[in-house]
Amino acid sequence: MKNRDSTYHLAEIVEINDSFFGSATKGSSKRGRGTSKTAVIVEASIHGDAVSFAKMTVIDKVDGVTVEHLIKADIRENQTVKTDGLPVYTIVSKSGHNHQQEIVKGKKAHEVLKWTHILISNAKSFIMGTFHRFGKKTFTSIS
């Protein structure tokens, strides 16, 4: 499946978002991008009102170099890419795509990037229902 999936490229409207999976380091109360949880980039190709294909990639950190690499590897040229206001996503337009960046502040994030939020929520529900608790080692072995 992994070999077959690597041949697919996202097209049309592509949503990109980052999320963090797993358990934080004991004693850590940081949330979001300051957490010690496993970072994941979620990409979803939207066709009409449905997802035609999606990818989740475990990464070391959310930065411009990583996002640029994923964009080049996963998305066909000259597509429309939707992201939130995170500055690392400015690389999207530099990669030759039509970048629709919408700052989430004051809005509900799941309304701005509907499909990536649904995918993230479903993945976390599945993992927690199966493993109940997991860390970086568990998550990278199932991806």
Q: Give the rounded percent of residues in the chain with a pLDDT score beyond 90.
A: 50
What pLDDT sits at residue 140? Answer: 52
Four-point Cα dihedral 111, 113, 118, 121, nearest 10: -100
Q: Which residue has the tokens 């072995």?
A: 141
- 2-102+109-137 CATH fold: Nucleotidyltransferase; domain 5 (3.30.420)
Query: Do residues 138 and 22 touch, judged by C-beta distance below 8 A?
Result: yes
Pairing of strands 13-21, 50-59: unpaired
Four-residue CA torsion sign, 74, 76, 82, 86: positive
The C-alpha atoms of residue 120 and residue 123 are separated, in whole angstroms, by: 5
pLDDT tens by residue, 31-75: 555 566 788 999 999 998 899 999 999 999 899 999 999 999 999
What pLDDT sits at residue 112? Answer: 81
**Domain boundary assignment for the chain:** 2-102+109-137
Question: Residue 68: phi, psi to the nearest 5?
Answer: -60, -45
The C-alpha atoms of residue 40 and residue 64 are separated, in whole angstroms, by: 14
Q: Give the rounded percent of residues in the chain with a pLDDT score beyond 70.
A: 78
Beta bridge partners, 40, equal: 19, 58
pLDDT band for position 126 (cuts 50, 70, 90) = confident
**Residue in 35, 91, 103 with CA at minimum distance from that of residue 64:** 91
